[in-house]
Structure 1
């Protein structure tokens, strides 16, 4: 196998060649990395996001910044948009365990300043969106009080009837499922909890409505594909921005056959990326079973640890850029390009 780092030199070269050569070059990059090129599908415009912990913060950032395109968000164990305010200390203290230190009015003011500067979409887009918020009663990592600050933040923009909160499951920090993970009330290193509660279905059903419920741990009919993330980062290797060279996408057989499908983007939490868990998060959190029955494609972008981010968290405090929470953030633009590719627009 050709060394992976060679791909970083091939990607800029690909942009210098003509179209046929460009496609062949990208194919070679995929060979170098052992990954496929992210595909294009028959998608409608109803795109949604979800995330756990740092992924919840990232999902909220992406929802707020891209509200023209995102119609709903499912947020597990995370606090409000721009909570960290560019500070790792604030992120690890106030935004995890000190809710009384979080001033939502300050965060709203910052949000408005981003709108004024054209760095996020108009907040009026959020009014009719669907938002799902989850916090386990035994979560001591991101305490329920912090999560309730996220609800307080969203109530400034989203119609109250469109916000669903779940605060009564006796879960520790993690993604709740009905078929996989550690005991619901006991911390495990995968941060996936078997709570007899299908968080993926409940949240997606709130966003879209009328979905078919899968049986617990139902066999999958689609394909989980490892794709090359490197082409979506232009200035440096993905690891520079805390991103992996590869991500996952789950495509049901119906969507592979050309059916009209919808896109949902899932952001894992810290210590849950490919470098730590392989494809366990992408396979075992319940999203794919929901996707199979409801013509949903699930995109799992992958963050990665670096010196500024040793636990492979998404950037919700500014380790990659001061623009981390708006459209100019490196992770934000990378994920946007992935989203556009699936729609055939990139």
Structure 2
């Protein structure tokens, strides 16, 4: 037997031993449990809300529908309607997003061929049809007792945004979410409880402003067409769009110079500013800080009267998501992997919420390529959405605990899922967490519900089915 063959035969043993040692080290250096991190925190069970962007927007809406009895408001940034994919990954990337069409164009394939992959709703009638199918599925799950009673949605607060240049989730998909919530034959939420921003000048991104903005290029500069988007490997999908919004406000006469207003009054003219045809657009342009816009819609202006306070990156704390699964699973690490969830999640706890007072709770779902270790970039430690999306600054000043559940890339196979190459939340089921993903029994929904229960003092506020 040659020396080479001996070494070759030893490698599996050495690899196994190294893996075992690494596992021990990882276990020893694991983040603390969520119970330990939030010890002493008291959550108001009537003040729990959710929001998310992209796949996190789909999940926020999905979670809201599944647990509407206990969720009092939702923010959806570039997401889509409940059960949009109908459990099909093909529908997810053709009907509910333009992912396949964009990939097709990127490879320079025939434009007509690429266009055939775009099956997203185009008209109001299309969007209403998609919303009707979505609500019908919700009614089916309600009747089976797998989600909360849909009547619980009626008094809730809703913020929706579909940015002007979003090429990934088109307007028609978000329009279906609006009709799900607003139409009289569906959730029938009152008009005064819904904000739908459909004209903000941005791409597929979490819009924020310059307040407490980190140094460097982690937060983008909101480049708009015809400028190309940043390459995916350098795109955190978080952009400072304040300057862009100000330019649009000037163009659309949203800002009235005091001198001009005084002159018009002196001349006896009835000055209208913003112009009558631009008032809706001008209102949309005010949302340069989406986290603030979402939280204001959900909790009200008075609840956020504390404004914003700067927050250091180190104040966002990690917790071990395996400990969450251990509450309802005998094999928490395997369960976590099968759900494509990262080992660590994150939570921000304002200083004021450690002194015994009751605080609000907001759950923020990241988008694809933003969670777990997936969003690590050159010179950055990852966890960019939890640090820089803009929620923490409002939370610090207004007694809001923010929890950031995390999923990450899992390169499974069709025979051995999950298949989640971009670290997205599950809103299609197929080759991922499978049937039931959109109900209270869904693996990811169960995990997040358990996080909320832990934050609520360990009681079963939200139902968490064992399997």
- TM-score, normalised to structure 1, is 0.88
Question: Among 314, 330, 342, which residue is 1:244 paired with?
Answer: 342
What corresponds to 1:23 in structure 2? none
Q: Does 1:287 align with 2:391?
A: yes
1:32 to 13, 22, 28: 28
Q: Which has the larger radius of gyration?
A: 2
Corresponding residue of 2:433: 320
The C-alpha deviation readout for 1:209-240, integer Å capped at 9, x for no partner, is 1213645x834599211000012222424121
Q: CA deviation at 1:243?
A: 0.4
Query: Which SS does the other structure have where 1:147 is aligned?
Result: helix
Correspondence for 2:194: 163
Partner of 1:212: 305
- The answer to whether the aligner puts 1:200 opposite 2:291 as a matched pair is yes
Deviates more, 1:219-228 or 1:37-46: 219-228
User: For the Cα contact (< 8 Å) 1:212–1:290, is it kept in 2?
Assistant: no
2-side partners of 1:313 and 1:33: how far apart? Answer: 26
Indicate yes or no: 2:166 matched with 1:139. yes
CA contact (8 A) 2:370 2:383 kept: no
**CA distance in structure 2 between the aligned counterparts of 1:201 and 1:222, rounded to whole angstroms:** 21
Aligned residues: 323
Tell me, yes or no, if the aligned pair for 2:49 and 2:73 is still in contact at 8 Å.
yes
Aligned equivalent of 1:262: 360
C-alpha separation in 2, matches of 1:264 and 1:133: 16
Compared with structure 1, are the counterparts of its residues 335 and 178 closer, same or farther at alpha carbon in structure 2 (3 Å cutoff)? Answer: same
8 Å contact 2:66–2:440 — kept in the other structure? yes
Aligned-residue offset at 1:290: 0.4
Q: Any conservation in 2 of the 1:134–1:167 contact (CA below 8 Å)?
A: yes
Alpha carbons 1:33, 1:228 under 8 Å: kept: no
Deviation track 1:137-186 (CA, whole Å, cap 9, x = no partner) reads 01101112211111011112122221111112100001010024212234
Q: Secondary structure at the match of 1:114?
A: helix
CA distance in 2, matches of 1:4, 1:259: 41
Q: CA deviation at 1:105?
A: 1.5
Partner in structure 1 of residue 15 of structure 2: none
Structure 2, unmatched stretches of 5+, are 1-19, 99-119, 214-218, 243-287, 376-381, 413-418, 460-467
Gaps of 5+ in 1: 8-29
Q: Which residue of 2 aligns with 1:11?
A: none
In structure 1, how many angstroms separate the alpha carbons of the residues matched to 2:306 and 2:222?
21
The residue number in structure 2 matching 1:225 is: 317
CA distance change for structure 1 residues 291 and 304 in 2, over 3 Å: closer, same or farther?
Answer: same
User: Which residue is 2:452 aligned to?
Assistant: 339
Number of the residue aligned with 1:111: 138
2: CA distance, partners of 1:136 / 1:3: 47
Partner of residue 52, structure 2: 51
Q: Identify the residue that residue 88 of structure 1 maps to in structure 2.
A: 89
Secondary structure, in 3 states, of the residue corresponding to 1:299? strand
* Alignment partner, residue 24 of structure 1: none
